[in-house]
Amino acid sequence: MQVVCAVITNSEGKIFAARRAEGKSFEGYWEFPGGKVEEGEEADQALARELEEELGLSLMIGASIHKLAWENKSGAFELEAFHISDELAGLKLQDHDKYDWFSIEELLGIELMVADIALLSHIEKFLGA
């Protein structure tokens, strides 16, 4: 299975993460928004669709940061992270109950999804932090 996520940075260089709402799989965990690539979709198209569904925003998808193979209770998947630079004005959470902007160090202090934690060193290198 192919999965995509967005590493969204704001003008202060902080990274967006959202907490999965009660009743969702992995509830209470923080994550970079995204989801599954459906048949016939390119990875960046899937991410644009997922962000519209999850955040209610149409965003410009930037460069691919990194791909990694992962496995969790849902099975094996390949996760590709893309960079987006946006302030997220007009954001409307659908699958999440909370969001915030974090530094890399702050992301290590929250209950971030393990696959997203595995991306942090690649994100840091990509952002030149």
| pLDDT exceeds cutoff 80 at 94 | yes
Question: What value does the mean pLDDT take over residues 15-33?
Answer: 95
pLDDT tens-place string over residues 45-88: 999 999 999 999 999 999 999 999 988 887 899 999 999 999 99
The range of the structural domain enclosing residue 46 comes to 2-127
| pLDDT exceeds cutoff 90 at 103 | yes
Mean confidence (pLDDT) of the chain: 95
DSSP 112: B
pTM of the prediction?
0.95
Q: Which of 98, 107, 75 is nearest to 20 (CA)?
A: 98
CATH of the domain at 94: 3.90.79.10
Count of domains forming the chain: 1
| pLDDT exceeds cutoff 60 at 124 | yes
**CA 69/CA 58 separation, integer angstroms:** 27
Determine phi and psi for 46, rounding to 5 degrees. Answer: -60, -40
